[in-house]
Amino acid sequence: MGTRRDFLGKMSLTALSLPILYSPTSLFAACEQPYDGPMLRVAIMGLGSYGTRVAKAMVDCKRAKLVGVISGTPSKILKWQATYDIPQKNCYNYDDFDAIKDNPDIDAVYIITPNALHCEQAIRVAKAGKHVICEKPMAINAEEAERMVNACKDAKVKLLVGYRMHFEPKTVEVIRMRQAGEFGQPKFFQGQSGFVMGNPNQWRLDKELSGGGAMMDIGIYSINGARYMLGEEPIWITAQETKTDPVKFKEGIDETITFQMGFPSGAVASCLSTYAMNHLDRFYMTGEKGWVEMRPSTGYGPIKGRTHKGELLQPHITHQTLQMDGMAQLIFEDVQPLVPVDGEEGLRDMKIIDAIYKAVKTGGKVDL
């Protein structure tokens, strides 16, 4: 999963041709400083609870603005028009949104619909010539994710994925510390991601819409967290599934999966993804020189964390505000976060999810 950072200070002439990285030390500057530059004009597709959260967060953005909506529910469109002063010409439904191609007032579409709809919707948005921001997981499998990546490349538009944690201040500081060698060689990561799923009739428990269960919703946080906390890509996966309520969690909807990942350096990760247990939002990583624990680690905030050097004290800023301002800066200025938020990043996670489901099914180790 915002406001964003200043450019790294004095760049060498050879570095000027490279993408600029956010400076963690000036992560919050965009929140405080006046901004007079291009505004990323965004239409949100999918006006449910998370779309509403993003819209509310964007009110505080300096570089991004909500200007349009796409929904299959006319009453929601009317409500959002009144709440966010959205003109009728920027309102679409799922059948006619291809017409955004002829709307110069929309730069990007943020897709916040059920997982199984992401692929085709993203391809349509790309063909309309608009940048694509897609909520995670970006698709229901790696094959679909790859189609999305290729479609956006062909259309010469950006494909970004809603990794709000890549902009979250304490998370960014931990990544900076790891990159600076302050933990030494990372050795072990533990990720616990879960909560008790309530309403049994929601789309997340419908395989045709969700593509899976807890792994496709909350488990992806431990997958992505392991990668950015350890700074490596896994080379093997093992996984085991536990299901205590087959009525609620039908075939194809995972309730609880524990999974393990191995990395080239020898580091290992042990993770839990579940819809059956509360109070599970914790990351822990230990290295040769130090350690970090974050709890809560991926909730909407405030994130809390401590390392061998003490408590993490970076301020809480609404994640989606930081994310959307950061994506605007990425699109307009090529200012890159420390960990990517592009389609290739999302595709890597989808390949791992595919491997986890394969490992559950086969009972063996899956090489990546």
Across residues 124-143, what is the average pLDDT?
98
Q: What is the pLDDT of residue 31?
A: 55
Across residues 272-283, what is the average pLDDT?
98
Across residues 35-49, what is the average pLDDT?
96
The bridge status of strand 236-242 relative to strand 366-367 is: antiparallel
Across residues 44-70, what is the average pLDDT?
98
Name the residue with higher pLDDT: 284 or 5: 284
- The reply to whether 94 belongs to the active site is no
**Is the CA virtual torsion 353, 298, 326, 188 positive or negative?**
negative
CA angle 198, 355, 341 (to 5 degrees): 75
Across residues 178-207, what is the average pLDDT?
97
> Tokens for 347?
């595709």
- CB-count exposure of residue 208 (10 Å: 0-12, 13-18, 19+): exposed
Name the residue with higher pLDDT: 5 or 152: 152
- The reply to whether 221 belongs to the active site is yes
Across residues 200-211, what is the average pLDDT?
97
Low-confidence winner among 10-19, 59-68, 150-159, 246-255 (lowest mean pLDDT): 10-19
Residue 210 pLDDT greater than 90, yes or no: yes
Give CA–CA dist 290/279, Å, rounded. 25
Residue 2 pLDDT greater than 90, yes or no: no
Across residues 156-164, what is the average pLDDT?
98
Name the residue with higher pLDDT: 94 or 4: 94
Name the residue with higher pLDDT: 19 or 219: 219
Q: What is the distance in angstroms between the CA of the first residue and the CA of the last residue of the chain?
A: 26
Q: What is the pLDDT of residue 6?
A: 32
Which residue type does 287 have? G
Residue 321 pLDDT greater than 80, yes or no: yes
Selected catalytic residue, list 110, 221, 228, 275:
221
**Is the CA virtual torsion 146, 133, 227, 230 positive or negative?**
positive
Residues of the chain with CATH 3.30.360.10: 182-313+343-367
Across residues 156-172, what is the average pLDDT?
98
Residues of the chain with CATH 3.40.50.720: 15-165
Residue 12 pLDDT grade (very low, low, confident, very high; cuts 50, 70, 90)? very low
- How far CA 241 is from CA of 23, 197, 220, in Å, comes to 40, 17, 15
Give CA–CA dist 232/264, Å, rounded. 7
Q: DSSP states of 86-153 as a string? A: --GGGEE-TTTGGGGGG-TT--EEEE-S-GGGHHHHHHHHHHTT-EEEEPSS-SSSHHHHHHHHHHHH
Phi-psi region of 327 (alpha: psi -120 to 50; beta: other; left: phi over 0): alpha
Across residues 102-108, what is the average pLDDT?
98
Helix count (H) and strand count (E) of the chain?
Answer: 11, 17
Residue 25 pLDDT greater than 70, yes or no: no
Q: What is the pLDDT of residue 139?
A: 98
Residue 34 pLDDT grade (very low, low, confident, very high; cuts 50, 70, 90)? confident
Which residue, chain included where needed, has tokens 């792994």?
A: 215
Selected catalytic residue, list 62, 130, 136, 170:
136
Across residues 261-290, what is the average pLDDT?
98
15-165: CATH number: 3.40.50.720
Residue 130 pLDDT greater than 70, yes or no: yes
Residue 301 pLDDT grade (very low, low, confident, very high; cuts 50, 70, 90)? confident
Q: What is the pLDDT of residue 51?
A: 98
> Tokens for 339?
């960990």
Low-confidence winner among 7-11, 20-24, 281-285 (lowest mean pLDDT): 7-11
- Measured N-to-C along each axis, helices 169-179 and 220-230 cross at an angle, to the nearest 10 degrees, of 40
Q: 182-313+343-367 adopts what CATH topology?
A: Dihydrodipicolinate Reductase; domain 2 (3.30.360)
Q: What is the pLDDT of residue 33?
A: 72
**Does this model's pTM top 0.85?**
yes
Residue 207: CB partners within 8 Å, gap ≥ 6? 250, 251, 252, 253
